[in-house]
Structure 1
């Protein structure tokens, strides 16, 4: 198939490299996409992309051009900047669409990341939900989440292959619905499920946790889909759809291209449902898994070396000696970030990757997304263990053209690399002036839970990111409900469910590092005079709890009760959401507590845990 136009520089997040590879060797490009854990390309060589518009043409005009190019439009979000269209785009047409009037950028849409970590959920015990549920303990009738609607956003609810159907869970009392043996007969409201293949019904696992804690609550579901636009639509529908009208919403999803230093497309949807007044329905208490990235990241202020200084540091005695002659000098025309000290500067960040999971590393800095205001173009250069430059792995987008301050690299598992943060240049677009100084707040995170090790991978690096850090979201960390189950091989020899107490909750070492996160921009992308500092995550809740089936094909039964254990902040977030449902009923029902007061109550009544007491998983 002929390619229609020269390769524009506004193809981002690996799309430009994929198009170039497809031109040179179609079979090789197809193989790369097939083996990638993040690229979403089908058998017709249609790749999932997000088209960010610039307002120079109406959304429907751009959509019509996409359709003529053979694209399948999956979702349109007019709420983010000038609009975003998620579509399956024939790869040979990517260049032509990138050059279409009205298109700011065409960005490869990488797979969403589920926050799963490596029956009667024990969270209902360790969180004291059983006491709240039981009549005569805290109230005459007990608190069960009556008249409270809890919405779930995850991959799928009842479409996964190789697992029991949801009706089996209803009959066993694990879920509400007609035929539930405990009388909780309200049908789960499934607004939209995922039928794209590869789903796991993680949303149903979350629903089982919520039902154990708040069994009388109404449960609703909407798939996160495979793009930010689909998820943002689902969040708004769970508040506004008349069949849902949720009081509480919880998700366990992160998209790799969500901003670190500002609120993005999904965070805007969270704010709409949690604090906005324009949508139908009630203001929602929103919970989101904070992530399982542990300390697998790097944060720093910029310490700039000129190109010549960087070359000199690279050639110094004892340096890692990278072959910079293999790198296009324009990629580091503005210099290098110094990861060493003033007496001993260095440009190479040595890392060793996870032994099993190929890491997806996202690098960002403090420029706004999609606001026509990117001032700095950085690159994340990748060198192999011998110091050779690996062009096809490096993140080298033209950030002025993509209008997004992000580079993304996908590395191999069980390998050694050197990463280099290089400055291509700066520019000021509004109003035009001489090149300004570069933005100075730098961070990269292994966002798909793959571990990184190396002298620069520090325990104080912030790895919590995305919409879980939205101003009115409750980012939820994870602690294992009972350390004793892991440290005592003979624990629960009688196979009781739930296992016998007393439980010893302990912070999971994989829960993403939080801290005082600085946000530098308002919702429109204008730089704030003073950064908005948010303490994230808001709190932690129990994971390692049981479900009847999730994770599918799991061999993990660390508490010896015959049921699979659900680990990760994906399990902790619905635990917190279920408790919020009990709080709302106890306070008088829907709208009896504003979302901010639910957050404050959970924080003030949480048991403090020492960060130093962690369990290695």
Structure 2
């Protein structure tokens, strides 16, 4: 009876296969912001004019006009019509919008020309008189006033482009121009996520991370001195643990381990919350991870901990040692963990037994048909790492599954994992296979229930 129950359990077990492909080395380390000055242009189907803190995309046919007319502000306005009150760049924008050259004002956004989600343009308006009555005239034409400087008789605000010419016709307006935007000096790069998260707006309200301690768990921060030298990080970042660099080894399916990913995350955090105190914890194993959680929560007294690591030997179906370590501190600390990027490289299903060539294989078919293997193509010099788990408890699995890779003709076993599960083992199998040929290789992956 016991054997029969185990067989039934095996039939309904849920299995998960995570497959990792690699064709090129995995670069790690510094942030991936485009390191471009505001005057450079990328030529592609979508051309980007990029700056550290601001970017926009326009179609290729618009790129040259954007470069010459906006970045270099070529004058094409009619002086009689505008009397020089509207700046050249704004006049160019109005001309292109009114002539139908551009269908959306958003297409003209740039490092110098800021446009909000409501399609309003941010402007400076110079006045002869900045009294409240005169400001009311501006508001009546749709200007959202942000700041008023009475000494300079200047107003900063947002206005729809359609109303700019009418603003210029007011007798009290001497000039309408673009604001003078500051360039950050905190570091050589600024994370693009800063604007996406609206962190710049929070900082303008006084929320800069002051008084908050943020701990980062990653592979390490061996290049932290370089980040400090470029002002991408402050010089008081705490460090816990150590990391040894490893070069990539494709025959071992091993990506490069740079020990610098923690620095990259710290730079992003510092961009968003420049006044927060930072610490980096280096991790290479799950035990080191648990140690770093304790270091950051107790020795550093972190308010927030973030990590970007994944452990495929941790249980997929239940909490393991790492999850428990995090749970122990989560009541007192905000804990943020990267979700990972394995959504398109995993397979999950209930085990469906299929008798095939003398084995009890999983049927990958979603219908009544029989499909004993998953077809995979591995590119030249690429590799595949496959990890199989099923929903037994770690340390007590008695359902013995194996996983293997065979050539497409099913005549040769290329790689396999056949660990024992006999009641006190973990429900996991994993293998790595490297295609060292110069041609793509078609292979088949199979899962077998060996016992249980």
Normalising by the smaller structure, the TM-score range is 0.5 to 0.7
Which residue does the alignment assign to 1:258? 314
Q: Return the match for 2:445 from 419, 424, 436.
A: 419
Compared with structure 1, are the counterparts of its residues 207 and 144 closer, same or farther at alpha carbon in structure 2 (3 Å cutoff)?
Answer: same
- Identify the match of residue 151 of structure 1 among 203, 215, 228: 215
Q: Which residue of 1 aligns with 2:260?
A: 201
Over 3 Å counting, the alpha-carbon distance change for 1:224 and 1:293 in structure 2 is same
Q: Which residue of 2 aligns with 1:127?
A: 197
2:326 maps to 270
Cα–Cα, structure 1 residues 356 and 154, in superposed 2: closer, same or farther, change >3 Å? farther
| Structure 1 pair 344–424 and aligned structure 2 pair: CA distance change class (3 A) | same
SS at the partner of 1:169?
Answer: helix
Does residue 229 (structure 1) correspond to residue 287 (structure 2)? The answer is: yes
Structure 2 gap segments, 5+ residues each = 1-21, 33-188, 247-256
Distance apart, 1:222 and its partner CA: 1.0
Deviation at 1:340, TM superposition (A): 2.6
Unpaired segments of 5 or more residues in structure 1?
1-36, 38-111, 159-164, 178-186, 276-282, 312-328, 427-617
SS for the counterpart of 1:209 is helix
Q: Cα offset for 1:349?
A: 1.6
Q: How much has 1:422 moved relative to structure 2?
A: 1.0
Distance 1:116-1:214 versus aligned 2 partners, 3 A rule: closer
For 1:208-607, list aligned pairs within 5 A. Answer: 208-225=267-284, 227-241=285-299, 244-275=300-331, 283-305=332-354, 307=355, 310-311=356-357, 332=359, 335-340=360-365, 343-354=368-379, 357-370=382-395, 373-390=396-413, 393-400=415-422, 403-413=425-435, 414-426=440-452
1:215 Cα offset (Å): 0.4
**1:410 match: secondary structure:** strand
Shift of the 117–299 alpha-carbon distance from structure 1 to 2, 3 Å rule, reads: farther
CA contact 1:249–1:284 (8 Å) conserved in 2: yes
* SS, match of residue 231 in structure 2: coil
Aligned 8 A contact 2:29 2:263 in 1: no
CA RMSD, 1 decimal:
2.7
| TM, length-normalised to structure 2 | 0.53
Is the alpha carbon distance of 1:302 and 1:378 closer, same or farther for their aligned partners in structure 2, counting shifts above 3 Å?
same
Tell me, yes or no, if the aligned pair for 2:244 and 2:259 is still in contact at 8 Å: no
Deviation at 1:341, TM superposition (A): 5.6
SS of 2:426's equivalent in the other structure is: coil
User: How far 1:375 sits from its partner (Å)?
Assistant: 2.9
Cα–Cα, structure 1 residues 200 and 299, in superposed 2: closer, same or farther, change >3 Å? Answer: same
CA distance change for structure 1 residues 299 and 168 in 2, over 3 Å: closer, same or farther?
Answer: closer
Closer/same/farther in 2, CA of residues 267 and 343 from structure 1, 3 Å limit: closer
Q: CA deviation at 1:114?
A: 7.5
Q: Contact conserved, 2:215 with 2:279, CA < 8 A, in 1?
A: yes
Distance 1:422 1:113 in 2: 35
Deviation at 1:377, TM superposition (A): 0.8
Runs of 4+ in 1 over 3 A off after TM superposition: 112-118, 195-198, 354-357
Say which SS state the counterpart of residue 434 (structure 2) adopts.
Answer: coil
Aligned ranges for residues 63-82 of structure 1 at < 5 Å?
none
1:167 Cα deviation after fit = 3.3
In structure 2, distance between residues paired with 1:384 and 1:117: 39
Distance 1:272 1:263 in 2: 12
Determine the C-alpha separation between the residues in 1 that align with 2:191 and 2:378: 34
Query: Matches of 2:434 and 2:423 in 1, distance apart?
Result: 28
Following superposition of structure 1 onto structure 2, how do residues 25-36 of structure 1 map, counting pairs within 5 Å? none
Aligned partner of residue 131 in structure 1, secondary structure: helix
Question: So what's the TM-score if we normalise by structure 1?
Answer: 0.39
Q: Alpha-carbon deviation of 1:424?
A: 1.0
SS at match of 1:254: coil
